[in-house]
Amino acid sequence: MGEYDILIVGAGPAGSAAAIQIANRNPDLARRTLLIEKAVFPRPKLCGGGVTTHADALLAKLRVQLDVPSFPIHAIKFMFEDLRFTVRIPNVFRVVRREEFDAQLAQHARARGVELREGEALVDLEREDAGVNVRTTLGTYHAQVVIGADGANSVVRTKLGLARWDRIARLIEILTPADATRAPEFVEHTAVFDFTPVTRGAQGYYWDFPSFKQGVPMMNRGLGDTRVHPYFPRASLKPIFEEMLAQREVELDDAHLQGHPERWFDASAKHSAPRVLLAGDAAGAEPLFGEGISHALDFGMRAADEALRALARGDFSFTDYERRVAWSALGRRLQFKRALAHIAYGDRGRWFYRLGWQVLRAMFGK
Ligand SMILES: Cc1cc2nc3c(=O)[nH]c(=O)nc-3n(C[C@H](O)[C@H](O)[C@H](O)COP(=O)(O)OP(=O)(O)OC[C@H]3O[C@@H](n4cnc5c(N)ncnc54)[C@H](O)[C@@H]3O)c2cc1C
């Protein structure tokens, strides 16, 4: 049985950020930290790939420079039915391919001394007074602390008995070929957020993100249904997506349609148990725009600090984790966006959205 101080489950942005933070703070401890990842890099990850300036600031804090191709966005076009306005902010975010981004981030963790085992999935964990016994598809380990950074379908969360159906958003996505010399989104470096789906019962928006996949221009198109009002009727996403695509003269190719859940953050929920912390999507992301990469990085760094504090003090109860997260800048940002999502996706009638639109356009638009 392998013996580690910290075992991190999942090498997405949250898990890799946690590993890098541990290595930066305590290089010796990095050698006693194991990062296991179910997939083998470069692994596919369904995502719009929008990396915000906030995410870049967190990467800088981790002293990580990722040399991956990205497409800079300088304008966001907000749409609602026939209404539209554009907000111009140079480099407001950039669009990456997650398979490249995540693979490089995980390599940074490895380069700083953390052992990274790919193709190894957590199967079970058992907490005891002296640590956590972890069973994976390839072996068994004992660790002082486990950080569950294994995404929205977190096995760690399920094993702790903390899974909740009513905090799960649904997202679908497709990549379609694009002409980068003519499509305005490419020429003008513009991302589109279309909120028309709220009138069809979806609690979210449709997006168009210009991107390149292996040098080939592709439009990343998707639709999210946050379900921040879990008891409202569930919208049927596929017909809404088809309608949004048809408005852009794109036909839905079923074979390439993919979906993935996202968990939204609830400050009143548990994200820990003695000796186990959750981070990133396993804990929760923001439901307003579904921007999860920066929050996952932030969450991972905070979980790492929490684990280091526990090891230093010999207190692994983590009774304060939820409160500390809730009151941190991360927690306040997540809660603020959740409150806005509650208002924005509340089935309020067309007049509400059209009026709100005029106000927002007057404040921010051109
Ligand atoms: C369609 C879609 C579009 C999105 N677009 C954006 C966007 O444009 N910008 C943005 O900021 N966010 C976006 N997000 C959200 C973002 O993708 C997530 O918030 C982010 O990936 C969370 O990072 P994470 O590290 O917590 O989890 P993940 O990135 O999901 O990583 C979890 C890792 O854990 C591994 N794993 C899972 N189970 C196990 C196991 N049992 N054992 C070991 N390893 C395991 C997985 O293989 C994975 O590598 C989008 C999400 C979706 C679904």
Mean predicted confidence (pLDDT) in 16-37: 98
* Type of residue found at 15: G
For the chain, list the domains and their CATH numbers.
Answer: 2-70+96-166+263-343 (3.50.50.60), 167-261+348-364 (no CATH)
Report the nearest-CA residue for atom 52 of ligand 1.
47
In this prediction, residue 256 carries a pLDDT of 87
Asked if residues 303 and 156 have their Cβ atoms less than 8 Å apart, the reply is no
Q: How far is the CA of 169 from the centre of ligand 1 (A)?
A: 13
Half-sphere exposure of 115 (CA within 13 A, CB side): 14
- Does 39 contact ligand 1 (Cβ within 6 A)? yes
- Does 155 contact ligand 1 (Cβ within 6 A)? yes
- Does 204 contact ligand 1 (Cβ within 6 A)? no
In this prediction, residue 163 carries a pLDDT of 87
Confidence of residue 271 (pLDDT cuts 50, 70, 90): very high
Q: Check whether 217 has a pLDDT greater than 70.
A: yes
Ligand 1 nearest atom to the CA of residue 281, by list position: 26
Ligand 1 nearest atom to the CA of residue 16, by list position: 25
Give the residue ranges of DSSP H helices in 146-270: 155-159, 184-187, 237-247
Mean predicted confidence (pLDDT) in 228-248: 95
In this prediction, residue 349 carries a pLDDT of 84
Confidence of residue 263 (pLDDT cuts 50, 70, 90): very high
Confidence of residue 366 (pLDDT cuts 50, 70, 90): low
Using DSSP bridges, classify how beta strands 168-177 and 216-225 pair: parallel, antiparallel or unpaired. Answer: antiparallel
Report the nearest-CA residue for atom 10 of ligand 1.
291
Ligand 1 nearest atom to the CA of residue 152, by list position: 30
- Does 210 contact ligand 1 (Cβ within 6 A)? no
Q: How far is the CA of 166 from the centre of ligand 1 (A)?
A: 19
How far, in Å, are 36, 120, 322 from residue 132 at the CA level? 15, 17, 20
Give residue-wise pLDDT tens across range 97-154. 999 999 999 999 999 999 999 999 999 999 999 999 999 999 999 999 999 999 999 9
- Does 287 contact ligand 1 (Cβ within 6 A)? no
Ligand 1 nearest atom to the CA of residue 120, by list position: 43
DSSP category for residue 233: P
In this prediction, residue 101 carries a pLDDT of 98
Q: How far is the CA of 282 from the centre of ligand 1 (A)?
A: 9
The label of the residue with tokens 């996949």 reads 213
Q: How far is the CA of 227 from the centre of ligand 1 (A)?
A: 18
CA-based end-to-end distance of the chain:
61
Q: How far is the CA of 151 from the centre of ligand 1 (A)?
A: 5
Q: How far is the CA of 300 from the centre of ligand 1 (A)?
A: 12
Mean predicted confidence (pLDDT) in 236-245: 96
Q: Check whether 205 has a pLDDT greater than 80.
A: yes
- Does 309 contact ligand 1 (Cβ within 6 A)? no
How far apart are the C-alpha atoms of 180 and 302, rounded to whole Å?
39
Probe residue for ligand 1, chosen from 150, 193, 241 as the CB with the greatest number of ligand atoms within 8 Å = 150
Q: How far is the CA of 266 from the centre of ligand 1 (A)?
A: 18
Report the nearest-CA residue for atom 15 of ligand 1.
292
Asked if residues 220 and 211 have their Cβ atoms less than 8 Å apart, the reply is yes
Q: How far is the CA of 48 from the centre of ligand 1 (A)?
A: 11
In this prediction, residue 363 carries a pLDDT of 86
Is residue 351 within a helix (H) or strand (E), and if so which, with residue range?
helix 350-364
Handedness of CA 182, 184, 190, 191 (dihedral sign): negative
Mean predicted confidence (pLDDT) in 190-198: 96
Ligand 1 nearest atom to the CA of residue 262, by list position: 53
222: which residues sit within 8 A by CB, 6+ positions away?
A: 48, 171, 172, 173, 174, 206, 207, 209
Give the residue ranges of DSSP H helices in 31-92: 53-61
For the chain, the average pLDDT equals 95
Ligand 1 nearest atom to the CA of residue 13, by list position: 25
